Amino acid sequence: MITYQDILKYEYDMNVFVFPQEIFGINIDELVKYNRKCYEEMLKLNYEYGSDTEICSFDVALNSYYEHCNSSQLIPDYFFLELIRTMIIDLESIHFSVMFSNQLASFEVDYVNHYIIFFNNLYCKAHNDVTKHNVLCFVTNLFVNGNKFKFDKLYNDSLLTQNNLDILNRLRNNSYSDY
């Protein structure tokens, strides 16, 4: 079992992957509230909001935990996208959308069309500005021509079907009002 304090102190079992809701003592509502306030402050160009709070430290530590799990290949493939959804939609984690979207070696070039559909569905189901921002941040960081994905394969927009390229461009331009 992994606890809130284990994550906060970076004292967790280095060989165990759990979803956030399985962490004993985590207060999901408090984490969501914190991320919403961070987003509000970010719009005011206050990027330091809450940086000296325990909940901020936990959010950053939780992201570090998932980066460790990812780099140690502890996250089963069938849970990988579910973890992304949980973190950027359910927990509304801005840190996760920024930090984890740089884990390029976890994404396979052969599945880029599937990833576009996944992120498009997340965006369409996003329930507020924070979650929409998180999806767009992930997409913007991930789908960059020349990014090295798994096995050092290079991503390029030409790998997408025309329909998925159109979807990606709408996401990139945040122009879903035309959709």
CA distances from 116 to 91, 120, 140, 143 (A): 21, 6, 11, 9
Q: Which residues does residue 148 pair with via DSSP β-bridges, in sequence order? A: 154
> Which pLDDT score, from 0 to 100, does residue 175 have?
54
pLDDT of residue 177: 43
pLDDT at 178: 37
Give the residues of the chain that fall short of pLDDT 50.
176-179
**166 contacts: CB under 8 Å, gap ≥ 6:** none
